[in-house]
Amino acid sequence: MNTILNGRNIAIGVITLALGVFVALGMGKIWAGQTTTVNGNVVSFILNPEGKVEGAILDTGDQVKFGEQTGELVASNIQIGGVLSATGDVGTKSNYGRELKAKTLQIGEQTITAVGGKKPKGEKGKRPHKPKKGERPEPKDAPQPDMRNGETPPAPKEVVKVSSNVRFVIVGKDGEAKGLILADGTNINLPKEVKDAGLKFAETMNVAIEGEVSKGNFGSFVKPNVLTINNQTFSFNR
């Protein structure tokens, strides 16, 4: 009888331990995805590939993401150093910071509802022209100007070389490194090859970039053709 009871107690103990681990892991995921409010002073804006504001980094380490449409409104109502409050879905915290996908923003007495995505292009966000039967469609990634309407081809983007130290590491929802903001205000996204290299970033780390630049009011965004991080060089075929 004692043997049976001992075996039952061991089984119950194992099941209880397993349930405890399962609940702990589950609660961690729930906590990372729950709605949270953060407050802090803006220390930097996050730019998208067009050089437009799409997020803000607070002195708390929180990185508030809200998209280009909202970014235009935010940037016109707050300066670096201003107080920003944001409510949204929070990600996992890491040494680099923590992402918060904003739903609402508070700047002083003004409440802003975040609208994700880019600002619609063209007149009133009009949908692009659909080719008629027999008409050759234009490439999606490289639309051709309509010469009949007097449109001119877009000028090629300026290629620059930049060398500066890391100031901030832009994170994703799991706290992983997705991009960098350098001390001179340059923003970059980290290509897959760099992410896969498993680099650890620090403020003392030097980054040299050669690539196409999009300039904005709060810095610039560079799409790298060549990227050197602590003497490790990556080249990308565009």
Give span(s): CATH 2.40.50.140, the chain: 35-113, 159-233
DSSP class of 12: H
Whole-number Cα distances in Å, 151 to 121, 130, 155, 177, 214: 15, 18, 12, 40, 21
User: Is-contact 229 194, C-beta < 8 A?
Assistant: yes
pTM equals 0.73
CATH number of the domain at 159-233, please?
Answer: 2.40.50.140
The pLDDT score that the predictor gives to residue 26 is 46
Fold observed for domain 35-113: OB fold (Dihydrolipoamide Acetyltransferase, E2P) (2.40.50)
Question: In the structure encoding, which two tokens stand for residue 56, read together?
Answer: 């803000």
The average confidence (pLDDT) of the chain is 83
CB 54 within 8 A of CB 71: yes
The pLDDT confidence band at residue 190, using thresholds 50, 70 and 90, is very high
Mean pLDDT of 162-184: 97
